[in-house]
Structure 1
Amino acid sequence: MNKTILFAFLLIQNIISAQLAEHSLSGEKWQFKNAKDNNWLSAKVPGTVHLDLMDHNIIPDPFKDENEKKVQWVENEDWDYQTSFTVSSKQLSESQNIDLIFNGLDTFSEIYLNGKLLKKTDNMFRKWVIPVKEHLKSGENILLVQFKSAVSTGKELAKKVLFTMPESPRSFVRKAQYHFGWDWGPRLVTAGIWKDVKLEFWNNAKLENVKVGQKNLTKDKADLAIQAEIITEKEGKYTVSINNKPFNFQLKKGKNAIQIPYAIINPKLWQPNGWGKQELYPIRVSLQKGSIHIADKDFNIGLRTVELIQEKDSKGKSFYFKVNGNPLYIKGTNWIPGDSFSPRMTKEKYQHLIKQAKEANMNMIRVWGGGIYEDDEFYKACDENGILVWQDFMFAGSFYPSDEHFLNNVKEEVEDQVNRLQNHPSIALWCGNNEVDEAIVNWGYQKQFNYSKEDSLQVWKDYRKVFHELIPNTLKENATADKNIYWPSSPSIGWGHQESLTEGDSHYWGVWWGEQPFEIYNEKVGRFMSEYGFQGMPTLETTKTMFSGNPDLSLQNPTIKAHEKHSRGWQIIDEYIKRDYIFPADFVKYNYVSQLVQARGMQIAIEAHRRAKPYNMGTLYWQLNDCWPVVSWSSIDYLGNWKALHYQVKRSFEQQVILTEEKEGNLNFYAINDELKKFNNISLSIQVAKFNGEIINQIHISPAEKELNDILKLNSVEIKKLIGDSDKSKIFLKLSLQDQHGNVIAQNSYYFSKPKDLKLSQPNIRINKISPMEIEISTDVLAKDVYLIGDVHFSDNFFDLLPQTSKRIQLSKPLEKIEVLSLWDTMN
């Protein structure tokens, strides 16, 4: 290569590299301080002020002991963050545009660059892009972000409303609502640069808001429309390539909206978990001007159709999702943020939690409206694991204003998040809020705060402006038609109203809040159950992390008490335990039984919902995860350990199940199939067994219909004829559903008595180590609710080990010693 060619090559490379370059400021040496102080301390970005204060031992870890109380002063202070960074004269001279981009600021801040105020921010959920070239200088630059107290600022905003708003000041603050405390989470009102920050240098043009609309989808072809915004410095000819296929455009100076048809031949569908593979197609959108390469956008798409079907029928109105043309029975859960300090959430933790949802046979997660719009990794994990996402916008359980500034702020928030998330095939539905309609109609705030008629009308007017006008209109403007299913509020009707069970989605809290027995779940079945739940303790391993020193595992310990955020939580758990179990004598057994009672309640609920298919077409229990070590409704605790509930959910959410309903002296059996394939010529084997394994009766039932597609109610059996004079507290049923070839489709057990009334014998449970990572457990008589104790994940736990049987269990890591409990141990 001669010198002339080499010089030209280097010049072109320099031009290409100058089109779009980034300089991450997150890795610079950040400092922070209380606005009242002069002493700067080192800080981490992304991060929060609490984490920085903990790093310097200024505050204790609020997750431990009773430390939450000791850190409340932090929320009332203002905090400053500062860094310096270098920009070269070459970067300044060769870059037509330089943008300062904050992907997340929490929440009220003023941004200064070299002493110049650039922007005031007031929304944790927005992306802030600030042109800064004219404010930069060659050499060192000083970036200062001053955060105002969200609590103090929220209180000032609240004063502008003539009547008292519930949950003030959080209603006025566009930040994660759970930061202000919830009945499962601590009050930790954070501040800080909670997402990454960078400088972006660009020339000629900028490629933004690339989205893929699905126009038509058949077996032969997927017709797509790829849309993008291109901001140009000057008009001219530009080339946009889709996976290296070029399309030419004459663009004007400024913002241009383009649309390109694109087809995929013989497309493979993205299927929800349980229905097939999650086929993903890579899309690369590239922008060029002549020979100059400007920018690329890379992402994956999935080809699928999702419809929300609401049709009037004799009992009300249906509410179900049709995916790829087939009705999908929704099995899943509700998601809260995985940490009170969101920057601590790692990609690995997101992937772990979503994979655990998949392993428990789920196909949907509802992202609850009091948290955050989650990190891209969350939605990526859902895409890869076949988990559909019900995405709430971030409003929860309060009234919200609708002044012009608030509406504009929310509109920008919705635009940012919809544009960021909509290409994910997992996104199934956008929901305006969590329980805001419910709060206005049913929670009595108007009476509590002595509202006038005009005040009450204003609240409803504000509600409609935000959730029935602004958000759906903004969604329509920004989302492609196939990603624009909107539902104004979850639930649509409160659980005290009969209509909540005949249409829309339902949050049923008669159990727990209403303290009704678990059996009420058999009666209170709606069209789509999007919230219901019951609390249980976290695992022993996680409970121990509540302490900074040696754990004192006692229910009277103030630390244990402090990690239950519901005001009557302990009393409610105790009451339900007494109803169904022998009250435990010590802490370890209490921990165990509290998990059993939680799992039992949710099993009754889930099975009632599934038996009601297709009247009911969805069940999302509250909740999957925790944001700190706590007694809560979660099925997976803060450290990622499965509680008894998650093991039970995995069993209850199997694709094929055989379920039992006891009614008016009869047993009704339901064979349920959620797969796309059908089963033919099934039969049910019922064995009546004593706890020592002796079979005292056995019958077979073959249904009248040969084809099992969705749900089949088998012939009823009279209990008296089945069990005779047997003592119900000493027997159980072994159920086995088989196909025409004798293959077992589903198995289950059924007990006639509550756990506390079972007359169990002491089991001789033996554990045989097969390998460092596998054990075999066996018993002579029924061992009910076998609990394997150890700091390891067991492939199964809290299971019934039937008499004279064994079971192999995988361990996530070798364990020297495994302790074991069963229900018998709590009775003696």
Structure 2
Amino acid sequence: MVTANPTTATARPLRRTTLDSVGGTAWTLSALGPVPEGWAAVGAAPVPATVPGEVHADLLAAGLIPDPFDGDHEGALAWIGRTGWSYRATFTWSGGPEDHHELVADGLDTLATVLLNGTEVARTANEHRSHRVDVGAVLVEGTNTLEVRFEAPVTGAERLAAELGDRPRAYGHPFNALRKAASQYGWDWGPDLAGAGIWKSIGLESWSGVRLAAVRPLATLEGTEGVLETHVELQWAGGAVAPVPVSVRVGTEQAEALAQPGQDSVVVVQRFADVAAWWPRGYGEQAVHDVTVELGGADATLATWSGRVGFRAVTLTTEPDPDGTGFVLAVNGEPVYVKGANWIPDDALVTRLTADTYRTGVAEAVASGMNLLRVWGGGIYESEHFYRACDEAGVLVWQDFLFACAAYSEDEPLRSEVEAEAREAVTRLSQHASLVLWNGGNENLWGYVEWGWRTPLAGRTWGDGYYTGLLPAIVAELDPRTPYSPGSPYSFMEYAHPNDHRNGTLHIWDVWNQLDYDHYRDYPARFVSEFGFQGPAAWSTLTSVVHDEPLDPYGAQMLVHQKAHEGNLKLERGLGAHLPRWPVDGDGRADMDDWHWLTSLNQARAVAFGIEHFRSFYPLNRGAVVWQLNDNWPVVSWAAVDSHGIRKPLWYALRRVYADRLATFQPRPDEHGVPVLTLVAHNDSSGVWDGELVLTRRSTGAGTPVLAEQRVPFHLDARSAVAVALDADLLAPADPRAEVLTASAEGMTTAYGYFVEDTELVLAEPDRAYEVEVAHASGGCTVTVTASALAKDLALFPDRLDAGARVDSGLVTLLAGERHTFHVTGPDVDEAALTTKPVLRSVNDVVGR
């Protein structure tokens, strides 16, 4: 038996014994209690487990369950969430000279009882925080046994909801009764796979005298001078320990303080003249600086912490003005026009995520022109891999606290868990230069005002004390240099509706749920932090998990992978007058090739329409954050990149409308208040944009002669916009169905404007509108399309031929005489199939005549 000696006066280096699988510890997983009929093999004997890991992944690796993502397995595996689970390991341990021995679990998901050598040492109830417990009185020399027993996550949530009092929420399971990622219980884009597991590292830490408890380096910029304020938290064991030095090193610069016994925090301040600042992408370099903190001296180092910081100053301006209340993020004094997306957990089984998957996700944001990702409140505080990737890429991070679409109890024991979780999250994440906004939660304030919560709540707490009291106080204490918002949406104005487009941040969901996407124009919004439109995952992604015969949008397995309420009906209604309906056979089944193409195209069109509208109101509008960048399984959803990493047409549309330089045709009232097409150009680059703007009206047919032309010299300063009135000739088509407006200038993608919807547009059929040539190229092939008439929204889907094939561009519109080359990479594919539908698609092949 090993016991602590509280009178020891010697500080000793911290010794960590890692108990992860990667460290060599062998774990097993067992079901607690009987499993349902048909799953007897799961309960027959313990199976090997991976730590960090989770139940679904371990059972899948053991071959005891089918892939939860495949077919209709999600429902068949629902029993896992109503079953308790035990993780168990034996390990050899030898005591040393240290006096304190603590079990440290960085993440237990979620309702856990921890036993060491048969003795209960801890009970936990929060996935989003770490836990530390003294086990010195329980550890033994030699072989030890550690067991973590998890209560069933679904029945556990139901039990807690009954104890705390059930409260309103957006979905069935009472996810709001405990501190576990809400989306694990299912969302309108994600599966119901509530599980359990030791999802982060676990181990033993042994120490004497004093321990480095936490490091919080806050870097900011004052003019050209960088200021680093490093907060070091200490835990002392008692006794007559001598003062201990704390040093902070940045590059070759080092500063030191002396911590007196019992002093629980030390602050070391350093100043750096003419420091290399950190900027968002598009505004400057992303300078990051390594920071090392040492407890003790070089001759007797007790503990070391390392991280990175970037020197930046962030402000959020929400001042009232004649139009309402603004929402302007600025970095180092430069207002940033936000071009962003919401980020959800990148895999429904989050422990499968790696540094590479996070870097790939952030790289997709960068490649599409984004400069901000919002970590949404129904998921997790992300891995360090995510925030480091954002630091390096210059992608701003908007971090929600983890509350989403529900009322939350402010009573104990939940309140204490929320406070501990928030303190740990702010302490861990505040070092990251990319983190520019803390946000109280997602849609909870809106929900209280408008979603009928007040009657069932009957005066009980619902979370307001978190969003307006506890959380802003924690941010002010631990990360005062980073702005805070009580929620999204939020109007920053007393007595205003939280989702008022004139004030603060706005979520636009009536468009997807009820209205045609042209209603985005109802909102000259200050800042849109959520909006979006659905479309299917890539063909190869969907068909890898949907096996209905024949394929149909309403097939049994397809509906498993369509989580939105009446989602397929909304996809069809969303076509409006913009695109034709897909053909159906005699049994009423949709032509799946056209269903997939048209719903994918319509998703891209709807979101691009919204963003072009928002940008046209710059500087009144200061940004848009589309819902959503990524998926966590194969599904019909709002994502731009599906769960297999394939870019949907939406991604290519975002790359166009998030370009630094954008021109767009928008209606603006004339002197009589009548909407007239106007060209709006937005220069969101750091340089001047000038030259000659060429505006034309042309025929959509072969030859595409110029029917009218207007040339306009223009000059746009950095971060500015201009509206250009069109000559009357441009706005007077002889045949609106067969003519198109164009706007072109150096440094921008050609803008197109139409007088009618595609359902009325006269376009040549593909064989008369364009020719296609395929040639071998390094790593794949090229597909060159040459237009002889207007070819609208050309898109190539090589994954239909091989799931590993990728293409570099999409949604390309060509005028007669123009050409575009698609670069296809990956496995060899059927070259002839690349030249025609369903692999090569365009609007021409659904409306051409």
Please give the secondary structure, in 2, of the residue aligned with 1:236.
Answer: coil
Could you give the per-residue CA deviations for residues 11-37 of structure 1, whole angstroms, max 9, x where no partner exists? xxxx99954344243331111111125
The alpha-carbon deviation at position 364 of structure 1 amounts to: 0.6
User: How far apart, CA to CA, are the structure 1 residues paired with 2:44 and 2:712?
Assistant: 81
The alpha-carbon deviation at position 553 of structure 1 amounts to: 3.2
Could you tell me which of 758, 762, 767 is aligned with 1:759?
762
1:225–1:261 Cα contact (<8 Å) kept: yes
Q: Return 579-588 or 17-26, whichever deviates more.
A: 17-26
The alpha-carbon deviation at position 48 of structure 1 amounts to: 1.3
Q: Tell me if 1:322 matches 2:330.
A: yes
Q: Tell me if 1:266 matches 2:271.
A: no
2:438–2:484 Cα contact (<8 Å) kept: yes
Q: Tell me if 1:823 matches 2:805.
A: no
Residue aligning to 1:303: 311
Residue aligning to 2:813: 800
The alpha-carbon deviation at position 551 of structure 1 amounts to: 7.5
Matches within 5 A, 1:273-352: 273-289=281-297, 291-352=299-360
Could you tell me which of 813, 818, 824 is aligned with 1:811?
824
Residue aligning to 2:520: 521
Please give the secondary structure, in 2, of the residue aligned with 1:567.
Answer: coil
Residue aligning to 1:10: none
User: How far apart, CA to CA, are the structure 2 residues paired with 1:696 and 1:756?
Assistant: 23
Residue aligning to 1:442: 450
Please give the secondary structure, in 2, of the residue aligned with 1:47.
Answer: coil
Q: Return 610-619 or 48-57, whichever deviates more.
A: 48-57
Please give the secondary structure, in 1, of the residue aligned with 2:606.
Answer: helix
Q: Return 123-132 or 550-559, whichever deviates more.
A: 550-559
Q: Tell me if 1:683 matches 2:692.
A: yes
The alpha-carbon deviation at position 602 of structure 1 amounts to: 0.5
Please give the secondary structure, in 1, of the residue aligned with 2:78.
Answer: helix
Residue aligning to 2:147: 144
Residue aligning to 1:505: 505
User: How far apart, CA to CA, are the structure 2 residues paired with 1:499 and 1:80?
Assistant: 45
User: How far apart, CA to CA, are the structure 2 residues paired with 1:246 and 1:519?
Assistant: 58
Q: Return 610-619 or 782-791, whichever deviates more.
A: 782-791
Residue aligning to 2:552: 554
Aligned length: 790
User: How far apart, CA to CA, are the structure 2 residues paired with 1:238 and 1:276?
Assistant: 40
Counterpart of 1:793 in structure 2: which amino acid? R
The alpha-carbon deviation at position 715 of structure 1 amounts to: 3.3
1:26–1:198 Cα contact (<8 Å) kept: no
Residue aligning to 1:112: 115
Q: 1:551/1:305 Cα in 2 relative to 1: closer, same or farther (>3 Å)?
A: farther
The alpha-carbon deviation at position 805 of structure 1 amounts to: 1.4
Residue aligning to 2:600: 595
Residue aligning to 1:30: 27
User: How far apart, CA to CA, are the structure 2 residues paired with 1:393 and 1:423?
Assistant: 17
1:188–1:340 Cα contact (<8 Å) kept: yes
User: How far apart, CA to CA, are the structure 2 residues paired with 1:426 and 1:177?
Assistant: 25
2:219–2:310 Cα contact (<8 Å) kept: no
Residue aligning to 2:534: 535
User: How far apart, CA to CA, are the structure 1 residues paired with 2:267 and 2:166?
Assistant: 48
Please give the secondary structure, in 1, of the residue aligned with 2:640.
Answer: coil
Could you tell me which of 53, 57, 61 is aligned with 1:51?
57
Residue aligning to 1:471: 471
User: How far apart, CA to CA, are the structure 2 residues paired with 1:280 and 1:482?
Assistant: 17
**Percent identity over paired residues:** 29
Q: Return 108-117 or 258-267, whichever deviates more.
A: 258-267
Residue aligning to 1:576: 574
Q: 1:275/1:767 Cα in 2 relative to 1: closer, same or farther (>3 Å)?
A: farther
The alpha-carbon deviation at position 248 of structure 1 amounts to: 4.8
Q: 1:326/1:338 Cα in 2 relative to 1: closer, same or farther (>3 Å)?
A: same
User: How far apart, CA to CA, are the structure 2 residues paired with 1:504 and 1:361?
Assistant: 23
2:109–2:127 Cα contact (<8 Å) kept: yes
User: How far apart, CA to CA, are the structure 2 residues paired with 1:127 and 1:405?
Assistant: 16
Q: 1:304/1:164 Cα in 2 relative to 1: closer, same or farther (>3 Å)?
A: closer
User: How far apart, CA to CA, are the structure 2 residues paired with 1:478 and 1:204?
Assistant: 26
Could you tell me which of 85, 95, 99 is aligned with 2:98?
95
Please give the secondary structure, in 1, of the residue aligned with 2:21.
Answer: coil
Counterpart of 1:522 in structure 2: which amino acid? R
Counterpart of 1:160 in structure 2: which amino acid? E
2:14–2:205 Cα contact (<8 Å) kept: no
Matches within 5 A, 1:67-86: 67-86=73-92
Q: Tell me if 1:619 matches 2:616.
A: no
Residue aligning to 2:784: 777
The alpha-carbon deviation at position 693 of structure 1 amounts to: 3.9
Residue aligning to 1:396: 404
User: How far apart, CA to CA, are the structure 1 residues paired with 2:793 and 2:712?
Assistant: 31
Please give the secondary structure, in 2, of the residue aligned with 1:580.
Answer: coil
Could you tell me which of 386, 393, 400 is aligned with 2:394?
386
Counterpart of 1:95 in structure 2: which amino acid? E
2:697–2:742 Cα contact (<8 Å) kept: yes
Q: 1:544/1:162 Cα in 2 relative to 1: closer, same or farther (>3 Å)?
A: closer
Could you give the per-residue CA deviations for residues 143-197 of structure 1, whole angstroms, max 9, x where no partner exists? 0001112222222222234565445521111100011111111111111111121
Please give the secondary structure, in 1, of the residue aligned with 2:709.
Answer: strand
Q: Tell me if 1:654 matches 2:655.
A: no
Could you tell me which of 453, 457, 460 is aligned with 2:459?
457
Could you give the per-residue CA deviations for residues 402-457 of structure 1, whole angstroms, max 9, x where no partner exists? 1132111100000111111110011111111101111111011345xxx4xxx443
Gaps of 5+ in 2: 1-9, 34-42, 584-590, 669-673, 800-804
Q: 1:521/1:24 Cα in 2 relative to 1: closer, same or farther (>3 Å)?
A: same
Could you give the per-residue CA deviations for residues 640-671 of structure 1, whole angstroms, max 9, x where no partner exists? 11000010000000001111113436321111
Matches within 5 A, 1:146-295: 146-161=149-164, 165-166=168-169, 169-214=174-219, 216-219=221-224, 221-233=225-237, 234-243=240-249, 247-254=255-262, 256-289=264-297, 291-295=299-303
Gaps of 5+ in 1: 1-14, 738-742
1:433–1:488 Cα contact (<8 Å) kept: yes
User: How far apart, CA to CA, are the structure 2 residues paired with 1:280 and 1:158?
Assistant: 45
User: How far apart, CA to CA, are the structure 1 residues paired with 2:337 and 2:110?
Assistant: 39
User: How far apart, CA to CA, are the structure 1 residues paired with 2:293 and 2:315?
Assistant: 28
Please give the secondary structure, in 2, of the residue aligned with 1:536.
Answer: coil
Could you tell me which of 131, 134, 157 is aligned with 1:131?
134
User: How far apart, CA to CA, are the structure 1 residues paired with 2:253 and 2:434?
Assistant: 27
1:16–1:292 Cα contact (<8 Å) kept: no
Q: Tell me if 1:670 matches 2:680.
A: yes
Residue aligning to 2:432: 424
Please give the secondary structure, in 2, of the residue aligned with 1:631.
Answer: coil
User: How far apart, CA to CA, are the structure 1 residues paired with 2:715 and 2:154?
Assistant: 64
Please give the secondary structure, in 2, of the residue aligned with 1:668.
Answer: strand
Runs of 4+ displaced beyond 6 Å: none
Please give the secondary structure, in 2, of the residue aligned with 1:689.
Answer: strand
The alpha-carbon deviation at position 776 of structure 1 amounts to: 4.6
User: How far apart, CA to CA, are the structure 1 residues paired with 2:632 and 2:32?
Assistant: 29
User: How far apart, CA to CA, are the structure 2 residues paired with 1:771 and 1:163?
Assistant: 61
The alpha-carbon deviation at position 268 of structure 1 amounts to: 1.6
Could you give the per-residue CA deviations for residues 202-225 of structure 1, whole angstroms, max 9, x where no partner exists? 344322321222354222x21222
Could you give the per-residue CA deviations for residues 221-248 of structure 1, whole angstroms, max 9, x where no partner exists? 2122222113344532323332265555
The alpha-carbon deviation at position 52 of structure 1 amounts to: 1.9
Residue aligning to 1:355: 363
Counterpart of 1:527 in structure 2: which amino acid? R
Structure 1 length normalisation: TM-score? 0.91
Structure 2 length normalisation: TM-score? 0.89
Residue aligning to 1:40: 46
Counterpart of 1:102 in structure 2: which amino acid? A
Please give the secondary structure, in 2, of the residue aligned with 1:683.
Answer: strand
Root-mean-square deviation (CA, aligned residues, Å) is: 2.4
User: How far apart, CA to CA, are the structure 2 residues paired with 1:744 and 1:695?
Assistant: 24
